[in-house]
């Protein structure tokens, strides 16, 4: 990858948390709606968001997302939103009960992996995840390097 080029998110995604797959092992993924203010929706469509330090928690039977940065919308200078405010996630009661039971297990957490628009509604994909040990991270890097070497060799054979 050339210097200066910013790596793009997947098509249709507003933001993605690529670092999370390095830090965590994903066990289950869920799609949830987001409760947003008007300027947040416009800011998402315009410039995206940052999920780098984001996490989700279950509080009083509701799922809340924290530390997700949605930048202020420049044209709405006076009526803008707070960039890192807690945001409520919309899930069925059955889904909330299922993930709350699983997050009580040792070492499991909820991590937002991507934000995208589906039929003009903002959605977030959250993953039930377990933190990787240092050994697991080295193992996944080794597998990634081996897959890259295989692809490189296949390309060379095809030439």
User: What are 105-135's pLDDT values in tens digits?
Assistant: 777 889 999 899 888 888 999 999 888 777 7
Give the per-residue pLDDT at 47: 72
User: Residue for token digits 């410039």?
Assistant: 47
The structural domains of the chain, with segments of one domain joined by +, span: 13-132
Mean of the pLDDT values across residues 7-15?
Answer: 68
Residues 6+ apart with CB under 8 A from 129: 20, 24, 25, 26, 27, 108, 109, 110, 111
Listed in order, strand segments (DSSP E) in the chain are 13-16, 24-34, 55-59, 62-66, 87-90, 108-118, 121-131
Mean of the pLDDT values across residues 75-86?
Answer: 80
- 15-73 pLDDT tens trace: 888 888 888 888 889 999 999 888 888 888 887 788 888 889 999 989 999 998 888 88
Q: Terminal CA-to-CA distance of the chain, rounded, Å?
A: 21
Q: How far, CA to CA in Å, does 147 sit from each of 19, 25, 116, 141, 151?
A: 19, 19, 29, 10, 6
Determine phi and psi for 126, rounding to 5 degrees: -110, 145
Give the per-residue pLDDT at 11: 66
Give the per-residue pLDDT at 139: 82
> Could you say which architecture CATH assigns to the domain 13-132?
Beta Barrel (2.40)
Mean of the pLDDT values across residues 73-78?
Answer: 78
User: Residue for token digits 């990858």?
Assistant: 1
pLDDT above 90 (res 146) = yes
Rounded CA separation 53/37 (Å): 21
- Give the pair of three-digit tokens for residue 102: 């699983």
Give the per-residue pLDDT at 6: 53
């Amino acid at each position: 990858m050339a210097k200066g080029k910013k790596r793009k998110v997947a098509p249709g995604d507003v933001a993605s948390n690529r670092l999370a797959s390095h830090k965590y092992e994903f066990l289950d993924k869920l799609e949830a709606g987001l409760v947003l203010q008007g300027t947040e929706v416009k800011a998402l469509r315009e410039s995206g968001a940052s999920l780098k330090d984001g996490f989700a928690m279950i509080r009083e039977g509701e799922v809340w997302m924290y530390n997700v940065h949605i930048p202020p919308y420049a044209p709405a200078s006076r009526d803008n939103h707070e960039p890192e405010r807690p945001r409520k996630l919309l899930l069925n009661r059955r889904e909330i009960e299922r993930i709350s039971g699983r997050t009580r297990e040792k070492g499991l957490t909820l991590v937002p992996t991507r934000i995208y628009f589906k039929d003009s509604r903002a959605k977030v994909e959250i993953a039930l995840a377990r933190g990787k040990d240092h050994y697991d991270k080295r193992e996944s890097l080794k597998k990634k390097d081996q897959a890259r070497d295989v692809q490189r060799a296949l390309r060379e054979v095809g030439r």
